[in-house]
């Protein structure tokens, strides 16, 4: 049974590990339904979830990432009030912190008829549409995931949204990190996403003003509804 209804949850400011554990819990819930369907040859609807949150200062290193892309030692990390987690998503190293909107879609991709490639393409499209709402032109960058500004200009190119996903049994977890009012100085201590010589930016930096995170949440939800055809409750 196809189910394109998605349960939205605002987790607020939450410790990264707590959010990761909760993602795993919901992920297993979706996978269990799919496995039971396969085993019993029944057709119960699998659930979908969309989590938005912010994290205290933290760096996350994907399974294909290089530790050398973290440019500071453990002692300096503690002085900056940040932590480091090695996690099971794709991609390299990135930063999460207050003022950054992090989205974790836990979706049964079969419900939306998506391949992994088209799923990531759709995620990027949601961000592109969201930024357009705020008057910011953005695009994809060939050979790199995420969303960029001036992507075709080697000097001006800057990343505004990082992405890293994991899928198993055609169920997604992890997701995107959109810089809204983010303290961008924390990116100085890493090679963002393992890409040398590229800068990062935020909505606030581009517009020269602070943005209400709640407004960004609403625009993102509209984007998910439009791009994925989902019904958010």
First to last CA, the chain: 18
| 18-53 per-residue burial string, b: 16 or more CB within 10 A, e: under 16 | ebbebbeebbeebbebbeeeeeeeeeeebbbbbbbb
d(CA 51, CA 218): 13
Q: How many CB atoms lie within 10 A of CB 215?
A: 12
Contacts of the segment 29-38: beta carbons below 8 A, 24+ positions apart: 30/106, 30/107, 30/108, 30/171, 31/168, 31/169, 31/171, 33/108, 34/108, 34/110, 34/169, 34/170, 34/171, 35/169
Alpha-carbon 72 to chain mean position: 24
Residue of 193, 216, 220, 230 marked catalytic: 193
Residue 53 catalytic?
no
Query: Which CA distances in Å does 68 have to 72, 92, 93, 150?
Result: 9, 11, 10, 27
Q: Is the dihedral of CA 221, 31, 90, 188 positive or negative?
A: positive
> Catalytic residues, which ones?
193
């Amino acid at each position: 049974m196809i189910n394109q209804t998605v349960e939205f949850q605002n987790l607020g400011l939450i410790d990264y590990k707590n959010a990761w554990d909760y993602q795993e819990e919901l992920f297993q819930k979706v996978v269990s339904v799919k496995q039971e369907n396969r085993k019993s040859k029944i057709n119960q609807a699998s659930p979908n979830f969309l989590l938005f949150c912010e994290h205290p200062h933290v760096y996350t290193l994907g399974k294909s990432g290089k530790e050398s892309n973290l440019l500071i030692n453990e002692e300096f990390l503690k002085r900056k009030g940040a932590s480091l987690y090695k996690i099971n998503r794709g991609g390299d190293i990135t930063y999460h912190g207050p003022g950054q909107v992090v989205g974790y879609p836990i979706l049964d991709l079969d419900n939306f008829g998506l391949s992994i490639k088209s799923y990531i393409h759709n995620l990027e499209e949601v961000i592109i549409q969201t930024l357009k709402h705020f008057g910011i032109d953005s695009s994809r960058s060939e050979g790199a995931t995420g969303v960029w500004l001036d992507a075709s200009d080697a000097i001006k190119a800057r990343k505004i949204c990082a992405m890293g996903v994991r899928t198993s049994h055609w169920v997604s977890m992890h997701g995107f990190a959109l810089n809204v009012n983010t303290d961008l100085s924390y990116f100085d201590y890493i090679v963002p996403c393992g890409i040398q010589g590229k800068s990062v930016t935020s909505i606030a930096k581009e517009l020269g003003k602070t943005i209400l995170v709640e407004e960004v949440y609403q625009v993102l939800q509209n984007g998910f509804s439009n791009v994925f055809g989902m019904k958010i409750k």
